[in-house]
Chains A and B, each alone.
Chain A
């Protein structure tokens, strides 16, 4: 048997090329975000720079209307998460606790909708939102993100709900509590962690979405962060890369930290849930 230390060294050596490639874009992001503008295009290209120019962030905030896009992203992601959860919690509870006619068909329907991607439907969705008068309205994104995330939230919640023992609710029924009372008083408090974790992942999905936001939001004051940052790059003769990178740092790092912290719950949910 090889010792744990030797094994660790071998494993890290094998993983190192991948680790370097994964961390490379983060390095690029930080190094560009803090370097002075006049050092963006030097020849030969180099990682080094002369000073940390933290003002890049405050300049970027004003010039790219980062604050406005941030508020749009927050509104859409929070509202979509709320709608998705409000509709998913009862559905997941029904899937976890009841037998009913059509349950198998409903499960298949969920798997199918989970696989449907917005891009294939984007033209139809755009026409639908036109008909509803919701183009250029952030609520169009709230509805579509909620709908496209619901399959994920339902099976994620269901897999956690299954692990909450039924005995407590059944004891409450014995004591004469109605199903609704036992649901609100006994079940939901136990389900809070599952709901929070699911909510955060739905939030991150909505926060990161690009195609629908690019399509439905036609004027720049309605852009969400990914579209706003993309608009700083696409079709421009001169791209202010230090601002773009500063914006990506602010838009991604908080989300990446939360995600890294919670990823084991996602892995657990997936192991328990539909992927298994």
Chain B
């Protein structure tokens, strides 16, 4: 009896949180799956099963394919750009130099600010008439006419990708720093004795040992970036003429502007499945790293 109570204690401790998570995160998924197979009125009333009609409508919609294509570009460009910048930044921040504390605080700063506020400030900074980016570039003699950054879809999308990279750097750098700080120093010392150059050390020691951290940084960033609404929503709302729409902005418009709830539910479910695939990849990576941790001595000599 007492034994059984002992066994129930940890379960009682996790149960309340589990119930909240199942209600708030689990139930909507089921509701979306159900809704996506129904005819839905503008006001959210389900008016009958329609099989795959919502999905057929989504897959026949050129705006869906356009948004999907841009989601791919957005994700690859932001995640790739972030990684290329964060790696050297993390290596610098891991080394000892004057002002390192200050440098860390500055690099982490974009993380502290909500994406919405960052996007609002950039929307103003990029203003074609009075924006201070134009002021800066004109003062520096780089341009002589103000540029309407957000008025055409191509420039707007490029600018949004750059802002996306900027706000992703702190998180990525943090993960990479965690990896770098656990690097074995003796491997580098041995390499120096063998006459390896800095680049050789980077390619043959740092990069292979950092691989698990780089993988996790990529997967987590893909998940976050693929889902990120505020930057594009605040700066251009997917416009002009749907030219900067990605799946989340298109989904949001369908659901809350155009009242096409069945179609929006179908897109949500497609996105959920993509997200699920990446999440499972993440879980697999994390548990593999846990196993590697159990035998840490092996890799050092390699």
Contact = CB atoms under 8 A, between A and B. Distances in A.
A241 interface: yes
Interface stretch (B9-17, B48-56, B57-65): B9-17
Contacts of B117: 208, 226, 229, 248, 251-252
Interface stretch (A60-68, A109-117, A162-170, A185-193): A109-117
A44 B138 contact: yes
Given A90-B14, A147-B23, A208 B130 contact: no
Given A15-B103, A94-B13, A45 B132 contact: yes
A61 B80 CA distance: 41
Contacts of A117: 223-224, 227, 275
Contacts of B96: 4
B20 A143 contact: yes
B35 A124 contact: yes
Interface in B85-113: 85, 88-89, 92, 95-99, 103-113
A215 to B, nearest CB: 7
A91 B234 CA distance: 37
Contacts of B150: none
B268 to A, nearest CB: 6
Interface string B215-226: 010001001100
A157 to B, nearest CB: 11
Given A115-B279, A119-B248, A146-B20, A98 B10 contact: yes
A76 to B, nearest CB: 13
B31 A124 contact: yes
A233 B123 contact: yes
A174 interface: no
A77 to B, nearest CB: 12
A115 B285 CA distance: 14
Q: Which of A100, A154, A251, A270 has the most CB of B within 10 A?
A: A100
B116 A25 contact: no
A119 B255 CA distance: 11
Interface in B179-231: 181-182, 216, 220, 223-224, 227, 229-230
B27 to A, nearest CB: 6
Nearest to B11: A100
B129 A108 contact: no
A147 B21 contact: yes
A123 B264 contact: yes
Given A15-B92, A127-B31, A255-B112, A28 B237 contact: no
Interface residues of B, number: 102
Interface in A119-165: 119-128, 130, 143-144, 146-148, 150-151, 154
A259 B111 contact: yes
Interface in B252-273: 252, 255-256, 261, 264-265, 268, 271-272
B276 to A, nearest CB: 8
Contacts of A102: 11
B154 interface: no
Contact of A120 (B136, B224, B272): B272
Nearest to B163: A25
21 contacts: A4-B97, A15-B107, A28-B132, A45-B129, A47-B136, A91-B17, A100-B10, A100-B11, A112-B279, A115-B279, A119-B248, A123-B32, A123-B268, A127-B28, A147-B24, A179-B9, A210-B116, A241-B124, A248-B117, A255-B112, A256-B113
Interface of A: 4-5, 7-8, 11-12, 14-15, 18-19, 21-29, 31-32, 40-47, 83, 87-88, 90-91, 93-95, 98, 100-103, 106, 108-109, 111-113, 115-117, 119-128, 130, 143-144, 146-148, 150-151, 154, 179, 204, 207-211, 215, 226-227, 229-230, 233-234, 241, 244-245, 248, 251-252, 255-256, 258-260, 263, 266-267, 270-271, 274-276
The 4 closest A-B pairs by CB, nearest first: A124-B28, A208-B114, A259-B112, A147-B24
Interface of B: 7, 9-14, 16-18, 20-21, 23-25, 27-29, 31-32, 35, 44, 85, 88-89, 92, 95-99, 103-118, 120-125, 127, 129-136, 138-139, 146, 166, 169, 174-175, 177-178, 181-182, 216, 220, 223-224, 227, 229-230, 234, 237, 248, 251-252, 255-256, 261, 264-265, 268, 271-272, 275-276, 278-279, 282-283, 286, 289, 293
